[in-house]
Structure 1
Amino acid sequence: MASFKIAAAAALAAVSMAGAANAQEASRWFVHLGPAYVDPVESASMTAGGAPVAGANVSIDGRWTLEGEIGYFVTPNVAFAVAAGLPPKFNVDADGTLAALGRAGTMTGGPAGVLVQYHFNPEGRFQPYVGAGASFLIVFDTEDAALNDLEADSAIGTALQAGANFMVNDRWGGFVDVKKAYVGTIAKANLGPTPVRAKVKVDPLVFNAGLTYRF
Protein backbone atom coordinates (compact mmCIF):
# COMPACT_ATOMS: atom_id res chain seq x y z
CA MET A 1 0.00 0.00 0.00
CA ALA A 2 2.85 2.35 0.85
CA SER A 3 4.54 1.61 -2.47
CA PHE A 4 1.24 2.36 -4.26
CA LYS A 5 1.01 5.75 -2.50
CA ILE A 6 4.61 6.56 -3.40
CA ALA A 7 4.02 5.61 -7.04
CA ALA A 8 0.82 7.65 -7.18
CA ALA A 9 2.57 10.66 -5.67
CA ALA A 10 5.42 10.31 -8.14
CA ALA A 11 2.99 10.08 -11.05
CA LEU A 12 1.11 13.16 -9.84
CA ALA A 13 4.36 15.07 -9.49
CA ALA A 14 5.42 14.05 -13.00
CA VAL A 15 2.09 15.19 -14.43
CA SER A 16 2.34 18.50 -12.56
CA MET A 17 5.89 19.08 -13.81
CA ALA A 18 4.85 18.23 -17.37
CA GLY A 19 1.91 20.60 -17.11
CA ALA A 20 4.13 23.38 -15.83
CA ALA A 21 6.64 22.75 -18.63
CA ASN A 22 3.87 22.80 -21.22
CA ALA A 23 2.47 26.01 -19.74
CA GLN A 24 5.92 27.58 -19.86
CA GLU A 25 6.37 26.44 -23.46
CA ALA A 26 2.88 27.63 -24.42
CA SER A 27 3.54 31.11 -23.05
CA ARG A 28 6.42 31.68 -25.47
CA TRP A 29 4.01 33.00 -28.11
CA PHE A 30 2.18 36.32 -27.86
CA VAL A 31 -0.24 38.36 -29.93
CA HIS A 32 -1.02 42.08 -29.91
CA LEU A 33 -4.16 43.30 -31.66
CA GLY A 34 -5.79 46.71 -31.70
CA PRO A 35 -6.36 50.02 -33.47
CA ALA A 36 -3.35 51.94 -34.75
CA TYR A 37 -2.83 55.47 -36.02
CA VAL A 38 -0.27 55.78 -38.82
CA ASP A 39 1.16 59.32 -38.94
CA PRO A 40 3.60 59.92 -41.82
CA VAL A 41 6.43 62.38 -41.18
CA GLU A 42 6.94 63.10 -44.85
CA SER A 43 9.32 65.09 -47.04
CA ALA A 44 10.13 64.92 -50.73
CA SER A 45 12.47 66.04 -53.46
CA MET A 46 11.05 66.21 -56.98
CA THR A 47 12.12 66.53 -60.60
CA ALA A 48 9.96 67.43 -63.60
CA GLY A 49 11.28 66.58 -67.04
CA GLY A 50 14.57 65.68 -65.35
CA ALA A 51 15.04 69.13 -63.77
CA PRO A 52 14.81 69.72 -60.00
CA VAL A 53 11.66 71.49 -58.80
CA ALA A 54 12.78 73.95 -56.10
CA GLY A 55 10.68 73.91 -52.94
CA ALA A 56 8.39 71.08 -54.09
CA ASN A 57 7.08 68.84 -51.36
CA VAL A 58 4.18 66.52 -50.49
CA SER A 59 1.77 66.22 -47.57
CA ILE A 60 0.38 62.82 -46.52
CA ASP A 61 -2.42 62.73 -43.97
CA GLY A 62 -2.54 60.24 -41.08
CA ARG A 63 -4.92 57.30 -41.05
CA TRP A 64 -6.44 54.85 -38.54
CA THR A 65 -6.19 51.12 -39.17
CA LEU A 66 -6.17 47.75 -37.35
CA GLU A 67 -2.74 46.36 -36.53
CA GLY A 68 -1.62 42.97 -35.29
CA GLU A 69 1.70 41.70 -34.02
CA ILE A 70 2.72 38.11 -33.36
CA GLY A 71 5.90 37.22 -31.52
CA TYR A 72 7.89 34.36 -30.03
CA PHE A 73 10.18 34.42 -26.99
CA VAL A 74 13.51 32.74 -27.75
CA THR A 75 14.63 33.50 -24.18
CA PRO A 76 12.65 34.85 -21.20
CA ASN A 77 13.62 38.39 -22.24
CA VAL A 78 14.24 38.30 -26.01
CA ALA A 79 11.51 37.88 -28.61
CA PHE A 80 11.14 38.06 -32.37
CA ALA A 81 7.98 39.73 -33.67
CA VAL A 82 6.23 40.51 -36.94
CA ALA A 83 3.82 43.47 -37.10
CA ALA A 84 1.45 44.51 -39.89
CA GLY A 85 -1.93 46.17 -40.34
CA LEU A 86 -4.82 46.50 -42.72
CA PRO A 87 -3.57 48.80 -45.50
CA PRO A 88 -5.25 52.24 -45.30
CA LYS A 89 -5.66 54.66 -48.19
CA PHE A 90 -3.55 57.82 -47.78
CA ASN A 91 -4.27 61.11 -49.48
CA VAL A 92 -1.11 62.57 -51.01
CA ASP A 93 -1.29 66.34 -51.59
CA ALA A 94 1.18 68.55 -53.43
CA ASP A 95 2.87 71.00 -51.07
CA GLY A 96 5.49 73.70 -51.04
CA THR A 97 5.87 75.43 -54.41
CA LEU A 98 3.40 72.95 -55.97
CA ALA A 99 0.67 73.36 -53.34
CA ALA A 100 -1.68 74.91 -55.92
CA LEU A 101 -1.99 71.49 -57.59
CA GLY A 102 -3.95 70.20 -54.57
CA ARG A 103 -4.50 66.44 -54.40
CA ALA A 104 -1.66 64.70 -56.26
CA GLY A 105 -3.12 61.21 -55.81
CA THR A 106 -3.76 58.49 -53.28
CA MET A 107 -1.73 55.52 -52.06
CA THR A 108 -3.09 52.35 -50.50
CA GLY A 109 -0.52 50.60 -48.34
CA GLY A 110 1.36 50.99 -45.13
CA PRO A 111 4.27 49.93 -42.96
CA ALA A 112 5.05 46.45 -41.63
CA GLY A 113 7.97 45.35 -39.46
CA VAL A 114 10.16 42.43 -38.40
CA LEU A 115 11.59 43.23 -34.99
CA VAL A 116 13.85 41.90 -32.25
CA GLN A 117 12.50 42.91 -28.84
CA TYR A 118 13.91 43.03 -25.32
CA HIS A 119 11.33 42.63 -22.53
CA PHE A 120 12.49 43.99 -19.17
CA ASN A 121 10.04 42.29 -16.79
CA PRO A 122 8.45 39.34 -18.63
CA GLU A 123 6.99 37.71 -15.50
CA GLY A 124 5.51 40.85 -13.98
CA ARG A 125 2.19 42.60 -14.46
CA PHE A 126 3.93 45.63 -16.02
CA GLN A 127 6.18 44.49 -18.88
CA PRO A 128 7.99 47.28 -20.75
CA TYR A 129 9.90 46.44 -23.91
CA VAL A 130 11.95 47.99 -26.70
CA GLY A 131 12.61 46.70 -30.20
CA ALA A 132 14.48 47.34 -33.42
CA GLY A 133 14.54 45.78 -36.85
CA ALA A 134 13.46 46.12 -40.47
CA SER A 135 10.49 48.13 -41.73
CA PHE A 136 8.67 47.55 -44.99
CA LEU A 137 6.60 50.12 -46.85
CA ILE A 138 4.18 47.98 -48.87
CA VAL A 139 2.30 49.79 -51.64
CA PHE A 140 -0.73 47.90 -52.94
CA ASP A 141 -2.35 50.53 -55.15
CA THR A 142 -2.21 54.15 -56.27
CA GLU A 143 -4.86 56.41 -57.80
CA ASP A 144 -4.41 59.50 -59.95
CA ALA A 145 -5.57 63.02 -59.18
CA ALA A 146 -3.56 66.05 -60.36
CA LEU A 147 -0.84 63.62 -61.42
CA ASN A 148 -1.48 60.96 -64.08
CA ASP A 149 -0.13 57.40 -64.26
CA LEU A 150 0.96 57.57 -60.62
CA GLU A 151 3.12 54.71 -59.38
CA ALA A 152 4.97 54.24 -56.08
CA ASP A 153 7.48 51.55 -55.16
CA SER A 154 7.45 49.36 -52.08
CA ALA A 155 10.62 49.76 -50.01
CA ILE A 156 12.65 48.50 -47.05
CA GLY A 157 14.00 50.57 -44.18
CA THR A 158 14.61 50.38 -40.43
CA ALA A 159 12.32 50.58 -37.41
CA LEU A 160 12.47 51.31 -33.68
CA GLN A 161 9.82 50.32 -31.13
CA ALA A 162 8.91 50.95 -27.49
CA GLY A 163 5.90 49.77 -25.54
CA ALA A 164 4.57 47.93 -22.53
CA ASN A 165 2.21 45.10 -21.65
CA PHE A 166 -0.15 45.43 -18.69
CA MET A 167 -1.05 41.84 -17.79
CA VAL A 168 -4.27 40.90 -15.97
CA ASN A 169 -3.19 37.26 -15.66
CA ASP A 170 -0.67 34.92 -17.29
CA ARG A 171 -2.56 34.94 -20.60
CA TRP A 172 -4.48 38.18 -21.01
CA GLY A 173 -3.62 41.84 -20.78
CA GLY A 174 -3.44 45.10 -22.66
CA PHE A 175 -0.62 46.97 -24.36
CA VAL A 176 0.47 50.34 -25.67
CA ASP A 177 3.11 50.65 -28.35
CA VAL A 178 4.80 53.19 -30.61
CA LYS A 179 6.94 52.40 -33.64
CA LYS A 180 9.05 54.73 -35.73
CA ALA A 181 9.88 53.56 -39.24
CA TYR A 182 12.54 55.12 -41.44
CA VAL A 183 11.47 54.27 -44.97
CA GLY A 184 10.68 56.02 -48.23
CA THR A 185 9.48 55.42 -51.75
CA ILE A 186 10.15 56.50 -55.31
CA ALA A 187 7.01 57.85 -56.99
CA LYS A 188 6.66 58.36 -60.73
CA ALA A 189 3.86 60.12 -62.61
CA ASN A 190 3.06 62.59 -65.35
CA LEU A 191 1.97 66.20 -64.90
CA GLY A 192 0.30 66.74 -68.24
CA PRO A 193 2.97 65.73 -70.80
CA THR A 194 5.84 66.21 -68.32
CA PRO A 195 7.27 63.19 -66.49
CA VAL A 196 7.60 63.74 -62.74
CA ARG A 197 9.74 61.77 -60.31
CA ALA A 198 9.72 62.20 -56.51
CA LYS A 199 11.87 60.70 -53.81
CA VAL A 200 9.52 60.65 -50.82
CA LYS A 201 10.53 59.99 -47.22
CA VAL A 202 7.44 58.67 -45.44
CA ASP A 203 9.03 57.85 -42.03
CA PRO A 204 5.73 57.07 -40.25
CA LEU A 205 5.05 57.04 -36.52
CA VAL A 206 2.62 54.25 -35.61
CA PHE A 207 0.70 54.52 -32.34
CA ASN A 208 -0.96 51.25 -31.33
CA ALA A 209 -2.91 49.94 -28.32
CA GLY A 210 -5.16 46.97 -27.62
CA LEU A 211 -5.22 43.41 -26.29
CA THR A 212 -2.30 41.14 -25.41
CA TYR A 213 -2.66 37.34 -25.43
CA ARG A 214 0.09 34.83 -24.57
CA PHE A 215 -0.15 31.19 -25.60
Structure 2
Amino acid sequence: MKMASKIFTCTAAISALFLSPLSFSYEAGDFAFRAGVTLVEPDESSDRVEINGDTLSLAGGTSELGVDPDTQLGVTFEYFLTKNWGIELLASTPFTHDAEGQGELAGLTIAEATQLPPTLSLMYHFDQFGKFEPYVGAGVNYTIFFDEDIDSEAATALEGIAGLTGGDVELDDSVGLALQVGFDYHIDDHWLINASVRYIDLETEAEITFDDGTVISADVDIDPYVYTISAGYKF
Protein backbone atom coordinates (compact mmCIF):
# COMPACT_ATOMS: atom_id res chain seq x y z
CA MET A 1 0.00 0.00 0.00
CA LYS A 2 2.84 2.37 0.82
CA MET A 3 4.48 1.65 -2.52
CA ALA A 4 1.19 2.21 -4.35
CA SER A 5 0.71 5.47 -2.46
CA LYS A 6 4.21 6.67 -3.44
CA ILE A 7 3.65 5.75 -7.10
CA PHE A 8 0.32 7.59 -7.08
CA THR A 9 1.89 10.68 -5.50
CA CYS A 10 4.78 10.68 -7.99
CA THR A 11 2.42 10.20 -10.93
CA ALA A 12 0.21 13.04 -9.73
CA ALA A 13 3.22 15.35 -9.37
CA ILE A 14 4.49 14.54 -12.87
CA SER A 15 1.00 15.01 -14.33
CA ALA A 16 0.67 18.37 -12.62
CA LEU A 17 4.04 19.44 -14.01
CA PHE A 18 3.07 18.68 -17.61
CA LEU A 19 -0.62 19.55 -17.50
CA SER A 20 -0.09 22.84 -15.65
CA PRO A 21 3.08 24.39 -17.09
CA LEU A 22 5.00 26.70 -14.80
CA SER A 23 4.37 30.40 -15.38
CA PHE A 24 7.12 32.96 -15.12
CA SER A 25 4.99 35.83 -16.40
CA TYR A 26 5.57 39.42 -15.39
CA GLU A 27 3.92 41.30 -12.54
CA ALA A 28 3.12 44.98 -12.09
CA GLY A 29 6.29 46.88 -11.17
CA ASP A 30 8.68 44.46 -12.89
CA PHE A 31 11.49 45.67 -15.16
CA ALA A 32 12.83 43.68 -18.11
CA PHE A 33 16.17 44.42 -19.77
CA ARG A 34 16.97 42.78 -23.12
CA ALA A 35 20.13 43.05 -25.26
CA GLY A 36 21.10 41.38 -28.51
CA VAL A 37 21.69 41.54 -32.23
CA THR A 38 19.47 43.96 -34.19
CA LEU A 39 19.23 44.14 -37.97
CA VAL A 40 17.70 47.20 -39.65
CA GLU A 41 16.48 46.12 -43.12
CA PRO A 42 15.13 49.10 -45.12
CA ASP A 43 12.08 48.50 -47.32
CA GLU A 44 12.71 51.77 -49.09
CA SER A 45 11.15 53.64 -51.95
CA SER A 46 12.38 56.96 -53.31
CA ASP A 47 11.10 59.87 -55.31
CA ARG A 48 13.20 60.77 -58.32
CA VAL A 49 16.44 62.51 -57.53
CA GLU A 50 16.20 66.23 -58.29
CA ILE A 51 18.79 68.88 -59.01
CA ASN A 52 17.69 72.39 -58.07
CA GLY A 53 14.07 71.22 -58.08
CA ASP A 54 14.15 69.54 -61.51
CA THR A 55 14.46 65.80 -62.18
CA LEU A 56 18.10 64.75 -62.45
CA SER A 57 18.60 63.21 -65.91
CA LEU A 58 22.07 62.34 -67.16
CA ALA A 59 21.16 60.39 -70.30
CA GLY A 60 17.43 60.86 -70.71
CA GLY A 61 16.57 58.56 -67.79
CA THR A 62 15.90 59.07 -64.09
CA SER A 63 17.62 58.24 -60.81
CA GLU A 64 16.47 57.18 -57.35
CA LEU A 65 18.07 56.28 -54.02
CA GLY A 66 18.22 53.01 -52.11
CA VAL A 67 19.44 52.35 -48.54
CA ASP A 68 21.63 49.45 -47.38
CA PRO A 69 20.92 47.44 -44.17
CA ASP A 70 23.07 47.41 -41.03
CA THR A 71 23.39 45.28 -37.88
CA GLN A 72 24.17 46.62 -34.40
CA LEU A 73 23.61 45.99 -30.69
CA GLY A 74 20.01 46.68 -29.69
CA VAL A 75 18.73 47.04 -26.13
CA THR A 76 15.26 47.48 -24.64
CA PHE A 77 14.04 48.52 -21.22
CA GLU A 78 10.46 47.64 -20.28
CA TYR A 79 8.48 48.65 -17.20
CA PHE A 80 5.30 46.70 -16.44
CA LEU A 81 2.25 48.72 -15.46
CA THR A 82 0.29 45.48 -14.93
CA LYS A 83 1.11 41.84 -15.59
CA ASN A 84 0.05 42.34 -19.23
CA TRP A 85 0.76 46.00 -20.07
CA GLY A 86 4.25 47.46 -20.29
CA ILE A 87 6.05 50.55 -21.58
CA GLU A 88 9.20 49.80 -23.58
CA LEU A 89 12.10 51.97 -24.74
CA LEU A 90 14.28 50.77 -27.62
CA ALA A 91 17.87 51.99 -27.86
CA SER A 92 20.94 50.81 -29.79
CA THR A 93 24.46 51.50 -30.87
CA PRO A 94 24.46 53.75 -33.98
CA PHE A 95 23.48 52.24 -37.33
CA THR A 96 25.40 53.31 -40.45
CA HIS A 97 23.78 53.10 -43.88
CA ASP A 98 24.97 53.71 -47.44
CA ALA A 99 22.63 55.53 -49.82
CA GLU A 100 22.98 53.73 -53.16
CA GLY A 101 22.06 55.12 -56.56
CA GLN A 102 19.38 53.42 -58.66
CA GLY A 103 18.40 53.99 -62.27
CA GLU A 104 21.02 56.13 -64.00
CA LEU A 105 23.05 56.23 -60.78
CA ALA A 106 22.94 52.44 -60.29
CA GLY A 107 26.13 51.02 -58.80
CA LEU A 108 27.21 54.35 -57.30
CA THR A 109 27.35 54.82 -53.53
CA ILE A 110 26.12 58.38 -53.04
CA ALA A 111 26.49 59.05 -49.34
CA GLU A 112 26.85 57.50 -45.89
CA ALA A 113 24.84 58.43 -42.80
CA THR A 114 24.60 57.27 -39.20
CA GLN A 115 21.34 57.11 -37.28
CA LEU A 116 19.88 56.31 -33.88
CA PRO A 117 16.25 55.09 -33.71
CA PRO A 118 14.92 55.52 -30.12
CA THR A 119 11.40 54.10 -29.96
CA LEU A 120 8.84 54.27 -27.16
CA SER A 121 6.07 51.65 -27.29
CA LEU A 122 3.06 50.44 -25.31
CA MET A 123 3.18 46.64 -25.10
CA TYR A 124 0.59 43.93 -24.40
CA HIS A 125 1.82 40.50 -23.22
CA PHE A 126 -0.22 37.29 -23.51
CA ASP A 127 0.57 35.35 -20.34
CA GLN A 128 -1.55 32.21 -20.77
CA PHE A 129 1.10 30.05 -22.48
CA GLY A 130 3.43 29.24 -19.61
CA LYS A 131 7.08 30.00 -20.30
CA PHE A 132 6.30 31.16 -23.84
CA GLU A 133 4.97 34.74 -23.74
CA PRO A 134 4.10 36.45 -27.04
CA TYR A 135 3.38 40.17 -27.20
CA VAL A 136 2.37 42.99 -29.52
CA GLY A 137 3.22 46.67 -29.32
CA ALA A 138 2.71 50.07 -30.93
CA GLY A 139 4.46 53.35 -30.37
CA VAL A 140 6.44 56.28 -31.73
CA ASN A 141 9.88 56.26 -33.31
CA TYR A 142 12.21 59.26 -33.54
CA THR A 143 15.15 58.64 -35.88
CA ILE A 144 18.12 60.99 -35.58
CA PHE A 145 20.57 61.26 -38.50
CA PHE A 146 24.13 62.49 -38.07
CA ASP A 147 27.66 62.14 -39.51
CA GLU A 148 26.32 62.41 -43.06
CA ASP A 149 29.09 62.40 -45.70
CA ILE A 150 29.19 62.25 -49.48
CA ASP A 151 31.03 59.19 -50.78
CA SER A 152 34.39 59.94 -52.42
CA GLU A 153 33.41 57.93 -55.51
CA ALA A 154 30.21 59.92 -55.90
CA ALA A 155 32.03 63.22 -55.34
CA THR A 156 34.51 62.37 -58.13
CA ALA A 157 31.74 61.24 -60.49
CA LEU A 158 29.57 64.33 -59.93
CA GLU A 159 32.55 66.64 -60.37
CA GLY A 160 33.40 64.92 -63.65
CA ILE A 161 29.83 64.90 -64.95
CA ALA A 162 28.50 68.25 -63.80
CA GLY A 163 31.52 70.09 -62.41
CA LEU A 164 30.07 69.95 -58.89
CA THR A 165 32.55 70.28 -56.03
CA GLY A 166 32.20 70.17 -52.25
CA GLY A 167 29.04 68.38 -51.26
CA ASP A 168 27.50 68.87 -47.82
CA VAL A 169 25.03 66.07 -47.04
CA GLU A 170 22.02 66.49 -44.75
CA LEU A 171 19.18 64.08 -43.89
CA ASP A 172 16.10 65.25 -42.01
CA ASP A 173 15.23 63.54 -38.73
CA SER A 174 12.03 61.50 -38.78
CA VAL A 175 9.06 60.88 -36.46
CA GLY A 176 6.79 57.94 -37.29
CA LEU A 177 4.65 55.04 -36.11
CA ALA A 178 6.33 51.84 -34.88
CA LEU A 179 4.60 48.43 -34.70
CA GLN A 180 6.02 45.29 -33.10
CA VAL A 181 5.38 41.58 -32.55
CA GLY A 182 7.63 39.27 -30.56
CA PHE A 183 7.95 36.82 -27.71
CA ASP A 184 9.83 36.15 -24.50
CA TYR A 185 10.73 32.59 -23.51
CA HIS A 186 11.29 32.45 -19.77
CA ILE A 187 14.18 30.18 -18.80
CA ASP A 188 13.60 30.77 -15.09
CA ASP A 189 12.28 33.49 -12.78
CA HIS A 190 14.82 36.01 -14.11
CA TRP A 191 16.45 34.96 -17.40
CA LEU A 192 14.71 34.89 -20.78
CA ILE A 193 15.28 34.64 -24.52
CA ASN A 194 13.60 37.14 -26.83
CA ALA A 195 12.89 37.59 -30.53
CA SER A 196 10.96 40.43 -32.18
CA VAL A 197 10.13 42.10 -35.48
CA ARG A 198 9.30 45.80 -35.81
CA TYR A 199 8.03 47.95 -38.64
CA ILE A 200 8.96 51.64 -38.48
CA ASP A 201 7.38 54.36 -40.61
CA LEU A 202 10.53 56.35 -41.45
CA GLU A 203 10.64 59.14 -44.03
CA THR A 204 13.45 61.60 -44.70
CA GLU A 205 14.61 64.16 -47.26
CA ALA A 206 18.22 63.79 -48.37
CA GLU A 207 20.01 66.87 -49.69
CA ILE A 208 23.53 67.41 -51.03
CA THR A 209 24.50 71.09 -51.29
CA PHE A 210 27.55 71.89 -53.44
CA ASP A 211 29.96 74.80 -53.36
CA ASP A 212 28.18 76.69 -56.17
CA GLY A 213 24.78 76.40 -54.43
CA THR A 214 23.52 73.49 -56.53
CA VAL A 215 21.29 71.15 -54.51
CA ILE A 216 20.66 67.48 -55.32
CA SER A 217 17.76 66.07 -53.28
CA ALA A 218 15.35 63.16 -52.93
CA ASP A 219 12.52 62.19 -50.59
CA VAL A 220 13.11 58.64 -49.30
CA ASP A 221 10.64 56.37 -47.49
CA ILE A 222 13.04 54.04 -45.68
CA ASP A 223 10.31 52.16 -43.73
CA PRO A 224 12.63 49.52 -42.22
CA TYR A 225 11.84 46.15 -40.70
CA VAL A 226 13.87 45.72 -37.51
CA TYR A 227 14.75 42.14 -36.47
CA THR A 228 16.13 41.39 -33.01
CA ILE A 229 17.32 38.26 -31.19
CA SER A 230 18.36 38.89 -27.62
CA ALA A 231 18.77 37.64 -24.08
CA GLY A 232 16.97 39.31 -21.21
CA TYR A 233 16.80 39.65 -17.45
CA LYS A 234 13.71 40.37 -15.34
CA PHE A 235 14.01 42.10 -11.98
Global fold match (TM > 0.5): yes
Q: What SS does structure 1 have at the residue aligned with 2:83?
A: coil
Distance 2:181 2:37 in 1: 16
Q: Tell me which residue corresponds to 2:22.
A: none
Q: 1:135, CA displacement in angstroms?
A: 1.2
Aligned amino acid, residue 205 of structure 1: Y
> Is structure 2 residue 91 aligned with structure 1 residue 72?
no
Distance 1:25 1:58 in 2: 46
Distance 1:149 1:160 in 2: 33
Q: Which runs of 5+ in 1 are unaligned?
A: 1-22
When residues 24 and 62 of structure 1 are mapped into structure 2, their CA distance, relative to the original with a 3 A threshold, is closer
Distance 2:116 2:99 in 1: 13
Aligned amino acid, residue 39 of structure 1: E
Q: Tell me which residue corresponds to 2:141.
A: 135
- Of 218, 224, 227, which aligns to 1:198? 218
Aligned amino acid, residue 66 of structure 1: L
Q: 1:88, CA displacement in angstroms?
A: 2.1
Aligned amino acid, residue 164 of structure 1: F
Distance 2:28 2:143 in 1: 33
CA offsets, 1:147-185, max 9 Å, x none? 521111111011100000000111111000111101111
Kept in 1, the 8 Å contact 2:178–2:200? The answer is yes
Q: Tell me which residue corresponds to 2:15.
A: none
Kept in 2, the 8 Å contact 1:34–1:66? The answer is yes
> Is structure 2 residue 183 aligned with structure 1 residue 181?
no
CA offsets, 1:81-114, max 9 Å, x none? 00011112211111123326x1101011142211
CA offsets, 1:161-211, max 9 Å, x none? 000000011111100011110111111104685311211111111110111
Kept in 2, the 8 Å contact 1:175–1:209? The answer is yes
Distance 1:189 1:122 in 2: 53
When residues 206 and 24 of structure 1 are mapped into structure 2, their CA distance, relative to the original with a 3 A threshold, is closer
* Length-normalised TM-score, structure 1: 0.82
Distance 1:25 1:192 in 2: 58
Q: Tell me which residue corresponds to 1:167.
A: 186
Kept in 2, the 8 Å contact 1:44–1:56? The answer is no
Distance 1:119 1:204 in 2: 24
Q: 1:123, CA displacement in angstroms?
A: 8.0
Aligned amino acid, residue 173 of structure 1: L
CA offsets, 1:7-55, max 9 Å, x none? xxxxxxxxxxxxxxxx9566x1111110111111112113211113474
When residues 24 and 150 of structure 1 are mapped into structure 2, their CA distance, relative to the original with a 3 A threshold, is closer
Kept in 1, the 8 Å contact 2:168–2:208? The answer is yes
- Of 48, 52, 59, which aligns to 2:51? 48
Q: CA RMSD in A?
A: 2.0
Distance 1:140 1:49 in 2: 23
Q: Tell me which residue corresponds to 1:60.
A: 67
